[in-house]
Amino acid sequence: MLKQQTLVFPFSVFAAFFLLASTTFHSVEAHSHRHASTVGRLVLKHQRKLLTQTEHGEISAASVTDRAKPPYHLHFITLEPNSVFFPVLLHADMVLFVHTGSGALSWTDDDGMQNVKIRKGDIYRLHQGSVFYVQSNLEAERERLRIYAIFTNTEDDIYEPAVGAYSSITDMVLAFDSILLQAAFKVPEDVIEEMMRASRTPAIIHAVQKEKMFGELQARVFKAFAGEFLGSIHNKKTKAYNIFEADPDFENCNGWSVTVDKKDLHLLKHSNIGIFMVNLTKGSMMAPHWNPRASEIAIVLQGQGMVRVLCSSNVKASKCRNMRYRVEEGDVFVVPRFHPMAQMSFNNDSFVFMGFSTSTKKNHPQFLAGKRSVLGSLDKKVLALSFNVPNATIDHLLKPLTCIHVYYTRGIF
C-alpha cells in the first residue's frame, strides 16, 4: 500500500523535480498544445465524434492511442431521464463506468437475459457477442445517465473499426428479406410486413415510447431473436461494483486515488482493463510518477487541471514530445506506460478524473518524491554521484513530506 506522502507535493520538491527532469530527460522544451500533433493522446470534448443525437440522449466517440497497441475506442453514452438506448449487438468486450445518474443495464449471455441496476460510480463489463440495452431512471433530481465505455483490444479480440463497437439489432433483423424472416420466425406474413413498414426508430428514445415501439408483435420477434428481451428492470440478479465503495490506495488532505483491478472485481478478468479514479482538491498535485505495467486513458469528470507527460529519456525527440496541457471536464488524455507524468489542480476547484488502465495486473505507480520514492530506494551515494551533487542535496530532496498545498502559478507547469 502506498503511503500518504505520494499524493503530497510541496513546492520545494516540485522545483527539484524540474531540475531533475531537465537533467534526466532530453528535449524538455514543453509544448502547450491543442493541435494536431497531440491527436491520439489528447482528445478534447469538442473533438469527439458525434454518433447519435436525439432529444433523449446522445452517443459520442473518441479513439486514443498509447502508440504501443492499436487505438482504444471510447463511447460516451448520455441518456436523459426515463430514456432507452435500444438493443445492440456488442462486437468487442466493453468495460463501462457510470459517471452520473442511474438506470438499468440489460444484456444476454449464455443463461439468457441478465439485468443489473446501475448508478453513479458503478463499473461493469460485458462480453463481446452479448446483446445489450440501457434504460435511465426517472429520478427526482432528473440527472442524466452518463456512461463512459471502453472497448477492449486484446490479441484474440481485435476491435474492427469498419464494423464498429456494436450494431443495431433492428437493422440486423430487417436486413433480411421478408420471406426469409417469415420462415425463420414462423410468424404470419402480416407480422413481418408490419415490421418492415414501421419507420426505423432512433438509437435512443423516451421510455414511454418504448411500449409503443416494442409492440406486441415486435416483442415476439425480439424474444425469438435474442431470448427474453423485455425483462423487467426490477428482476435484479447482480449488483454492480461501485468505485466509491472501494478503499482508496491513498488519501490525505490533498485528495485521494483509487484503483480497481481484477482482484477487486472478478468481472475484469481477461479484459486487460483496470479502472482508476483520482480526486485532487484545490491547489494539489499528483506527484511525478510513472506506471510500470499499464498505459492510462483518463477522462476528466470534474473541474480543470494541468497534465504534464514526459517522454522516456531514450526515445528520439522526433518520436515523442514532452507534453503539457490543460484539460477540463469531458477531455480525454493518455499517458503511455513508463512515461513520467504529473497532474495538478488549480487553486479554485477540485480536479477529478477517472480512467481505464490497459492492464489488470497490479500496477504500483512509481513515485519520484515522498517516502516511497524510487529514488529513496537507491543508494544515496550513487544518486549523489549520478546527479553530480553533494550528499546533502540528496538528503534534502528525499526528506519526508508533510501535507502542504501547492498553489498553481503559471510558472509551475
Ligand X SMILES: *[C@@H]1O[C@H](CO)[C@@H](O)[C@H](O)[C@H]1NC(C)=O
Where does this chain bind ligand X (CB under 6 A)?
279, 281, 302, 304, 346, 348-350, 352, 381, 390-391
Cα–Cα distance for residue pair 318/277, rounded to 1 Å: 32
Select 191 or 278, whichever has its Cβ closest to ligand X: 278
Nearer to ligand X, 174 or 389 (CB): 389
Find the shortest distance in angstroms from Cβ 174 to ligand X. 42
CA distance 275 to 359: 9
Taking the complex as a whole, the smallest distance from the CB of residue 76 to ligand X amounts, in Å, to 17
Instruction: List the grid coordinates of 6.
Output: 505520494
Q: Which helix (H) or strand (E) holds 296?
A: strand 296-302
Cell numbers for 274, please give them: 483496470
Shortest reach from residue 388's CB to ligand X, in Å: 10
Closer of 9 and 132 to ligand X (Cβ): 9
Cβ 352 to ligand X, closest distance in Å? 4
- Minimum separation from the CB atom of position 394 to ligand X (A): 9
205: left (phi over 0), alpha (psi -120 to 50) or beta: beta
Task: Choose between 311 and 344: whose C-beta lies nearer to ligand X.
Answer: 344
Please tell me the distance from the alpha carbon of residue 412 to that of residue 288, in angstroms, as a whole number: 13
3-state secondary structure of 20: helix
Distance in Å, CB of 360 to ligand X, minimum? 23
Contacts of 200 (CB under 8 A, 6+ apart): 170, 171, 174
Nearer to ligand X, 111 or 379 (CB): 379
**In contact, 45 and 74? CB cutoff 8 Å:** no
Q: How far is the CB of 31 from ligand X (least distance, A)?
A: 19
Cα separation of 50 and 77, whole Å?
Answer: 10
Q: Which is nearer to ligand X, 167 or 304 (CB)?
A: 304
DSSP per-residue string spanning 139-195: -TT-PPEEEEEEE--BTTB---TTT-SEEEHHHHHHTS-HHHHHHHHT--HHHHHHH
> Closer to ligand X at the Cβ: 188 or 390?
390
